[in-house]
Amino acid sequence: MVHLRIVVPGPKSERVVGLLEASPSVSSLARIEGASRKPPGDLILCDIAREDASVVIDDLRELGVPSEGSISIEEIDSQLSTAADRAERAARGSAGDAVVWEEVEARTSESVELNANFLAFMVIACLIASVGVMLGQPILIVGAMVVGPEFGPLAGLCVALVQRRPDLGWRSLTALTVGFPVGITGAFLFSLFAKWTDLVGTGFVVGERPLTAFISEPSTFSFIVALFAGTAGVLSLTSAKSGALIGVLISVTTIPAAAAIGVAAAFGDWSDWRGAIAQLAINLSAIVIAGVGTLLVQNRVYERRRRRHHGDLSRAAAGLSTERSQR
């Protein structure tokens, strides 16, 4: 279930209550008249089955609620309510498969900002990975993958392409096109320092680390694994199962490849440098392709649900058109 907190001007309050009251997937509906002072209006609270959350919120948008008031969305972790159970049964589909698009957009918007924290995590992740490359330690590579913040902008780019949101797309691209060069530069400078101070020994050769050589040796499986990881990452994002995201982060070699570019450049190993660039490009491309494909399928399912919902009696109760949408 999802909890909605709605602030709506008094004149529209009756239509909003009518919409929610007539929807079988809504429970625990409450209206507090005049409770909101800024903006002035009524406060309406309700719980709604996750499967129908986005279509009902779309109805609220059609009523103009966000432009004159507000809609806040909160996930309900546990709830004991027979009425809520009935509401969930009334909604078609499975709650585990449902996508609340407003949550997805909010999560991606928050994670694509180019700021000091994002750049710091990119640099730290690449520094950890560069040590892993120089020492041939896979455990450090895994740690760097988890620290890296690059999946947020990649997911944001996928959402922007599917939802046709150029603002989100540009912010995501900016974070990626600035973040990776900064991280690579950090790895390059640290590797130069390690080389000049002989931290890794005079016999160090980038390509002679068998446990981490895969980073600069892209193959067909690099693309395949990145496709799988991109799909899993987007499913984790849209289903709010963030635990799966850790597995995604340690399945792709974006951060290690970026670090390997800096390390190889510092030690003059141009063969590994080219291989690491290819690995990074392959992983980024595959993640975006898989992410966009997954979101397109989910969006197609949502649009079909939305078209069916256009004939729902709850829309008539709110004075909205019940003609089937052609979208």
**Cα angle: 73, vertex 295, 6; to 5 degrees:** 15
3-class DSSP state of 175 = helix
Average pLDDT, the chain: 85
Write down the pLDDT at residue 232.
86
In tens, the pLDDT along 38-97 reads 889 999 999 998 888 888 899 999 888 999 899 999 888 888 888 888 888 888 777 666
**Given a cut of 70, is residue 201 above it in pLDDT?**
no
Q: Is 207 a residue whose pLDDT tops 60?
A: no
CA separation for the pair 260, 216 (Å, rounded): 7
Segment 215-233 shows an average pLDDT of 88
Mean pLDDT of 243-257: 71
CA gap 33, 41 in Å, rounded: 7
Helix or strand or coil: residue 23?
coil
- Choice between 101 and 206, residue whose per-residue pLDDT is larger: 101
Provide Rg for the chain, Cα atoms. Answer: 24
Q: Report, as an integer, the average pLDDT of 15-30.
A: 90
**How large a percentage of the chain has pLDDT more than 90?**
38
Report whether 137 contacts 200 (CB < 8 A). Answer: no
Q: How confident is the model at residue 311 (pLDDT cuts 50, 70, 90)?
A: confident
pLDDT at 246 over 70: no
User: Residue 49, SS3?
Assistant: coil
Q: What angle do CA 27, 19, 163 make, to 5 degrees?
A: 95
Bigger pLDDT: 209 or 28? 28
Range name among 8-12, 30-34, 158-162 with the lowest pLDDT average: 8-12
72, 141, 326 from 129: Cα distances, Å: 40, 5, 50
| Residue 241 pLDDT grade (very low, low, confident, very high; cuts 50, 70, 90) | low
- Residue-level pLDDT at 327: 44
Amino acid at 129: A
- The model's confidence at residue 9, banded by pLDDT at 50, 70 and 90, is confident
Report CA-CA distances (Å) from 47 to 94, 157, 222, 314: 16, 31, 44, 16
Compute the average pLDDT of residues 181-209. Answer: 81
Quick one: pLDDT at residue 326? 45
Question: Is pLDDT above 50 for 308?
Answer: yes
Lowest-confidence segment of 74-88, 128-142, 176-190, 246-260 by average pLDDT: 246-260
Stated pTM of the model = 0.83
H or E stretch at 63: none
Quick one: pLDDT at residue 70?
A: 92
With beta carbons less than 8 A apart as the criterion, state whether 304 and 226 touch: no
Quote the pLDDT of residue 262: 94
Q: Is 278 exposed, middle or buried (0-12, 13-18, 19+ CB in 10 A)?
A: middle
Determine the pLDDT at residue 312: 77
